[in-house]
A and B are shown apart, each in its own frame.
Chain A
Amino acid sequence: MAIHEKSLIEPERLLRHDNLVVDGVDVSGHWNTMITPRTITDYDDDFEAVIQRYPGAENVHRCWQCGSCTNSCTMYAQNVQFNPRYWIYAVRTGLKDEIIKDKDIIWQCVSCNKCTSICPKDVRPEGVMKALAHWLEDEGHMPKSPSRIFDEEFTEQIYARGRIEDSLVLLNFLKKTGQPLVPQWLRVFGVRLMQYLPVGLGMRFARNFFIPPRTRSWGRTGEVLRQYVREQKEATHG
């Protein structure tokens, strides 16, 4: 029988083994479902200081949890999981797991700074959001961003030779980020450029230079025209 209450539990707290035998009894599948407790059993007293070393998060210890940041947050209006007050609290009490759990939404901060403007204790929550994103990256919870990979390549070349070689920076950056030298977009760009390049027009210009074209069926039309103009002039001016 299914445990309907499972819908009330966060999925990451449900433990289940597909195959499990305990004391000779087969309890595979939902029979062995266990739920990890939500109880906070300790504080990490040092975590706050770790985050405070990132620029922008220096004032996180001032927070008194009024909720003004979350209240004013642009992203919270879109997604109630985006809760700066909660993350600040997690920083203060050292609930690292809670930060890691939300790693895929913390970076969504749009830096509108409404929270920083409204904060009565000058915590600067926007800076805390940035600090958390950096911490997640430093701790390896997030993949390295392309800009960080570029910076690393750049810096390495400086260390090695005191200067960079542009082509090498680009080449190695592309290699490290798994990008081909000629990416798809560049290839499409080239093909389209060729397609729409006015090659025919240029060739016609060249031919016309050497063999100026005549209007079709022109024949003696020119002589007739010349004759007519002369007659008109004589008729007018005598």
Chain B
Amino acid sequence: MQDTVLIVGAGPAGLSAAAQVAGVGYKAVLVEKEDVLGGAPILSGYARLVPSGEWARDAIGRMVKRVEDDGNVTIHKGARVTQLNGEAGRFTAKLSNGKSVKAGAVVLATGFTHFDSVNKPEWGFGTFPDVVTTTQVEQMVTAGKIACPSDGRTPERVAILLCVGSRDRQIGREWCSKVCCTVSANLAMEIKELSPKTQVFIYYMDIRTFGLYEDRFYWKSQEEFRTKFVKARIAEVTAAPDGRLLLKGEDTLVKRPIVIPFDLVVHAVGMDPNMDNPEIAKVFGVGLEKHGFIERGEHYTNTCGTTRPGIYSCGAAYGPETIDDSISQGMAAGARAIADLHGLTRKAS
């Protein structure tokens, strides 16, 4: 029992945690509620990943294959943990597929849920077919064609609206989703590559392409791919008489109202807490922080911890996170779980 780690969620963080646990010679049990492994990058059909530029299906595909080929990893697809008993060193989990798993530690790599744009009705998602989300554009890029869903035409002009479901007290999202600026700058470049004549505008409040993403994504998108960044938070999206979309707002840099026609409007949707988090908190007995993400334990010496001993977390379950950092944190959580199990074994002997 004390040589097994239960990992919940098979996205980048969970796959990384499983590989770490198995790599050290411990056993990993990976439980994934969907029928495919890979998490959001695979389920939502992401195109090329930031910052590697590798296709999601290749990069995440390698991570999936690594755990599938590992004899120390047991995988349960299409299953959820319905009950967890015991304590650090001797947990027993009941799965929705009727099976039972004994494990010494649990890693919650339960990730996030994309913000649902219908919660910002003034921006037209669900009302106008040509208002889409970054996830949908990722899928278009993967399919190799940028088109307006209404009639399939190639858009002359695309607007990407940042902070949709982020930094918005109106809808109770008081966090920055961290990745959308970089993802949007990258998407603008991908749109340009597929359709060089299309003009891409990004409407922003601030640009938060942190760290090394600044010049590699933001500057490159503006300077080499001619993406135009306009400082305006859009008030509403309406329809023009000719069937195009009208973007209304205030261009804060020139203090003037704008009403600009666009063919395609893209919501850069933020990262919500996993919509199952209330259930997860109940089943695993862990706390949620005030926004609804998994609450972090004291970070300095209880790294990757939660509010319950023996249960660890990583990646976007804690809050908005990049794929690369989720992978690193998955590894850290796996290592932390093994270290604690090793400590328990030593104490017992």
Contact = CB atoms under 8 A, between A and B. Distances in A.
A64 B259 CA distance: 21
A42 B262 CA distance: 10
A89 interface: yes
Nearest to A98: B254
A198 to B, nearest CB: 67
A42 B261 contact: yes
A188 interface: no
A38 B256 contact: yes
Nearest to A49: B226
A53 to B, nearest CB: 15
B54 interface: no
B253 interface: yes
Interface stretch (B177-185, B228-236, B293-301): B228-236
A165 to B, nearest CB: 49
Nearest to A122: B223
Interface string B206-246: 01000000000001001100101111000000000000000
Given A65-B253, A86-B254, A89-B254, A41 B226 contact: no
A64 B253 contact: no
A62 interface: yes
Q: How large is the interface on A (under 10, 10 to 19, 20 to 34, 35 or more residues)?
A: 10 to 19
B259 A39 contact: yes
Nearest to A40: B258
A211 B228 CA distance: 93
B260 A45 contact: no
Interface in A172-205: none
Contacts of B257: 37-40
A161 B222 CA distance: 49
Interface in A25-69: 37-43, 45, 61-62, 64-65
Contacts of A38: 256-257
Contacts of A95: 254
A72 interface: no
B199 interface: yes
Contacts of B340: none
B253 A42 contact: no
Contact of A64 (B199, B201, B222, B256): B222
Contacts of A86: 253-254
B254 A64 contact: no
Nearest to B258: A40
A93 B254 CA distance: 11
A92 interface: yes
B251 interface: yes
Nearest to A45: B199
B228 A93 contact: yes
Contacts of B226: 61
Contact of A40 (B207, B222, B223, B256): B256
Interface residues of B, number: 20
Contacts of A43: 201, 228, 260
Given A45-B199, A62-B222, A89-B253, A40 B260 contact: yes
B199 A40 contact: no
A39 B258 contact: yes
Interface in A77-118: 86, 89-90, 92-93, 95
A46 B253 CA distance: 21
Contact of B223 (A39, A45, A62, A92): A62
A40 B231 CA distance: 14
A38 B212 CA distance: 39
Contacts of B256: 38-40
Given A45-B199, A92-B228, A93-B228, A61 B258 contact: no
A220 B230 CA distance: 106
A22 to B, nearest CB: 27
A164 B253 CA distance: 51
Which of A37, A38, A39 has the most chain B CB atoms closer than 10 A to its own CB? Answer: A39
Nearest to B246: A41
Contacts of B230: 93
A40 B257 CA distance: 6
Contacts of B259: 39-41
A93 B201 CA distance: 10
Interface in B79-135: none
Contacts of B223: 61-62
A236 to B, nearest CB: 103
A230 to B, nearest CB: 104
A40 B246 CA distance: 12
13 contacts: A37-B257, A39-B257, A39-B259, A40-B256, A40-B257, A40-B258, A40-B260, A41-B258, A43-B260, A61-B223, A61-B226, A89-B253, A95-B254
Interface of A: 37-43, 45, 61-62, 64-65, 86, 89-90, 92-93, 95, 121
Given A38-B257, A45-B199, A65-B231, 6 more contacts: A38-B256, A40-B257, A40-B258, A43-B201, A43-B228, A65-B253
